[in-house]
């Protein structure tokens, strides 16, 4: 039996699945945590990858693919050394840089038409502008810019490559034209560092020192779409560190409002996506505040039929959609009679899902059909989320069997690169 492996190097952890290349059945799994924070040295991802794959997890694996958190700015000097810790997708320090870049190009529509999205602090191009302005000595040393999954692929193979899915989250790659917009990168950063070569969906990046094939890899949301085998009419809501709402389309409608990012997917199509900064951790922060476990939060939230008038504005980490990087969370409409743990728990779940409900409206506005929602990510394991989501979204919600869909998608890509056939798992 040929084995393939998929890696999900996401915000909070690295997860690895080893699958039968023919059926996709998972035969082994590993995981390791990442440190908290919105900037992180890439060595931490390498350490987590090694920890997650220790004890021979990859023994006998013929091909491996990496799915990684999107947008993180990894900068290398001319010797391949990391110049500064990577600024992650949820780091909001480049919010002003985003505003400046929009103004300099002539407005949001110019960006939406050029690269399918309007800059916000999450996108790599704004982080590069921030670095050029605030850390000019470090910026001067930057010879190469890449994304988290690219860096891991490079560590494994020595090849500086990426795929169009992850490249489309930089804001200096046009998903529709399939080219880097080095002119935009130069305007933002003042120079054009070396960029990873963009591979096709089934192309291999190279081989590890032990001979294992490594596929192109992709961003974690693109990998999740691959893992689910998404079809037109399906919309995914993923509740991880980020909340994301996305679907696969044949063509892209740029969203000038900036709510929907026009990403590429990992198969040659597109992946319009809305992302929020506040998802599963709204639930864990609320449980922590109440001094209870997540399972108890579920019980409390489901023990009442509404939040008794409480409204939880969930912007605990600022927010990206809507673009309010400095926003804070609030608990509104408190009265003596409604300040119960049950109501607070319910309001937290409703508030977090409400942000994703607005995301659903936004992807519909650019033409995504939503006949059903597929709910995935760590937060989808919550009974309260599963119970309350249909009310908030107003369409049937299905919860696929709990699985690591990002890692599974990366494994599917690894099998595709190995055999040359899209695996019909």
Ligand X SMILES: Nc1ncnc2c1ncn2[C@@H]1O[C@H](COP(=O)(O)OP(=O)(O)O)[C@@H](O)[C@H]1O
Ligand Y SMILES: O=C(CO)[C@@H](O)[C@H](O)COP(=O)(O)O
Residue 89 is a binding residue for ligand Y (CB under 6 A) = yes
Pick one of 115, 280, 300, 370: the residue that binds ligand X (CB under 6 A): 280
Q: Which residues contact 46 (CB under 8 A, 6 or more apart)?
A: 152, 155
Rounded-to-integer distance, Cα 29 and Cα 408, Å: 11
| Among the residue ranges 16-24, 218-226, 303-311, 364-372, the one whose residues contact ligand Y (CB under 6 A) | 218-226
Rounded-to-integer distance, Cα 154 and Cα 152, Å: 5
Residue 11 is a binding residue for ligand X (CB under 6 A) = yes
Contact of residue 221 among ligand Y, ligand X, none (CB under 5-8 Å per partner type)? ligand Y
Contact of residue 244 among ligand Y, ligand X, none (CB under 5-8 Å per partner type)? ligand Y
Look at strands 179-180 and 213-215 and give their pairing.
Answer: unpaired
Which residue number, 120 or 239, has a Cβ lying nearer to ligand X?
239
How many chain residues touch ligand Y (CB under 6 A)?
17
Rounded-to-integer distance, Cα 402 and Cα 397, Å: 14
Pick one of 378, 416, 418, 423: the residue that binds ligand X (CB under 6 A): 378
Question: What φ, ψ does residue 268 adopt, rounded to 5°?
Answer: 115, -5
Find, among 294, 298, 319, the residue nearest to 242 by Cα: 319
Residue 72 is a binding residue for ligand X (CB under 6 A) = no
Active site amino acids: 220
How many C-beta atoms lie closer than 10 Å to residue 155's C-beta? 16
Q: What kind and span of H or E run contains 398?
A: strand 397-398
Cα-to-chain-centroid distance, residue 117:
15
Pick one of 3, 5, 11, 19: the residue that binds ligand Y (CB under 6 A): 11
41 is known to lie in a ligand binding site: no
Within 36-75, which residues bind ligand Y (CB under 6 A)? 69-71
Pick one of 244, 278, 343, 382: the residue that binds ligand Y (CB under 6 A): 244
Read off the DSSP letter of residue 401.
Answer: P
Residue 240 is a binding residue for ligand X (CB under 6 A) = yes
Residue 122 is a binding residue for ligand Y (CB under 6 A) = yes
Contact of residue 342 among ligand X, ligand Y, none (CB under 5-8 Å per partner type)? none
Which residue number, 90 or 249, has a Cβ lying nearer to ligand X?
90
Rounded-to-integer distance, Cα 54 and Cα 397, Å: 37
Which residue number, 129 or 281, has a Cβ lying nearer to ligand X?
281
Write down the least CB distance from residue 147 to ligand X, Å: 15
70 is known to lie in a ligand binding site: yes
| β-bridge mates for residue 64, sequence order | 5, 214
Rounded-to-integer distance, Cα 315 and Cα 326, Å: 9
Find, among 277, 231, 245, the residue nearest to 360 by Cα: 245
Q: Looking up tokens 């059903």, which residue turns up?
A: 372
Write down the least CB distance from residue 292 to ligand Y, Å: 24
Write down the least CB distance from residue 284 to ligand X, Å: 4
Provide the sign of the torsion angle of the four alpha carbons 64, 47, 218, 401, taken in this order: positive
Residue 377 is a binding residue for ligand X (CB under 6 A) = yes
Cβ atoms of 24 and 1 within 8 Å: the answer is no
Region class of 20: left (phi > 0), else alpha (psi between -120 and 50), else beta:
beta
Pick one of 66, 101, 248, 294: the residue that binds ligand X (CB under 6 A): 294
Residue 281 is a binding residue for ligand X (CB under 6 A) = yes
How many C-beta atoms lie closer than 10 Å to residue 394's C-beta? 12
Rounded-to-integer distance, Cα 14 and Cα 4, Å: 17
| Among the residue ranges 77-85, 241-249, 297-305, 407-415, the one whose residues contact ligand Y (CB under 6 A) | 241-249
Write down the least CB distance from residue 220 to ligand X, Å: 6
Pick one of 4, 10, 94, 312: the residue that binds ligand Y (CB under 6 A): 10
User: Could you list the residues that contact ligand Y (CB under 6 A)?
Assistant: 10-11, 69-71, 89, 122, 169, 219-221, 240-242, 244, 273, 275
The residues binding ligand X (CB under 6 A) are 10-13, 240-241, 280-281, 283-284, 294, 377-379, 381-382
User: Which residues does the annotation place in the binding site for substrate?
Assistant: 70-71
């Amino acid at each position: 039996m040929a084995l393939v492996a998929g890696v999900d190097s996401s915000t909070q952890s690295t997860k690895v699945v080893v699958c039968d290349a023919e059926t996709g059945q998972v035969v082994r799994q590993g995981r390791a945590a990442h440190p908290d924070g919105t900037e992180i040295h890439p060595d931490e991802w390498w350490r987590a990858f090694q920890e997650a794959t220790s004890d021979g997890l990859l023994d006998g694996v013929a091909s491996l693919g990496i799915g990684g958190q999107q947008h993180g700015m990894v900068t290398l000097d001319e010797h391949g050394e990391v110049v500064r810790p990577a600024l992650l997708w949820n780091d909001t320090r480049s919010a002003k840089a985003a505003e400046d870049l929009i103004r300099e190009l002539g407005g949001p529509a110019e960006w939406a038409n050029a690269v399918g999205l309007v800059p916000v602090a999450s996108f790599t191009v704004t982080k590069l502008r921030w670095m050029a302005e605030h850390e000019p000595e470090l910026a001067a040393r930057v010879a190469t810019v890449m994304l988290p999954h690219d860096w891991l692929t490079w560590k494994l193979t020595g090849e500086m490559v990426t795929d169009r899915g992850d490249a489309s989250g930089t804001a200096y790659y046009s998903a529709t034209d399939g080219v880097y917009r080095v002119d935009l990168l130069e305007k933002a950063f003042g120079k054009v560092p070396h960029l990873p070569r963009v591979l096709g969906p089934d192309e291999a990046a190279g081989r590890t020192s032990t001979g294992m094939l490594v596929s192109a890899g992709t961003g974690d949301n693109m990998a999740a779409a691959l893992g689910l085998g998404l079809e037109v009419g399906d919309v995914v809501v993923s509740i991880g560190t980020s909340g994301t709402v996305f679907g696969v389309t044949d063509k892209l409608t740029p969203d000038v409002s900036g709510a929907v990012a026009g990403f590429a997917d990992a198969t040659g199509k597109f992946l319009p996506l809305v992302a929020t900064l506040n998802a599963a951790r709204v639930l864990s922060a609320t449980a922590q505040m109440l001094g209870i476990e997540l399972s108890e939060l579920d019980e409390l939230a489901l023990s009442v039929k509404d939040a008794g008038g409480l409204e939880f504005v969930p912007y605990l980490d600022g927010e990206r959609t809507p673009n309010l990087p400095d926003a804070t969370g609030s608990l509104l409409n408190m009265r003596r009679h409604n300040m119960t743990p049950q109501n607070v728990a319910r309001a937290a779940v409703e508030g977090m899902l409400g942000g994703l409900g607005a995301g659903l409206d936004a992807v519909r506005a650019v033409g995504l059909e939503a006949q059903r929602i597929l709910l995935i990510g760590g937060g989808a394991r919550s009974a309260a989320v599963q119970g309350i989501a249909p009310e908030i979204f107003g369409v049937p919600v299905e919860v696929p069997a709990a699985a690591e869909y990002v890692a599974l998608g990366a494994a599917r890509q690894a099998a595709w690169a190995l055999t040359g056939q899209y695996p019909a798992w």
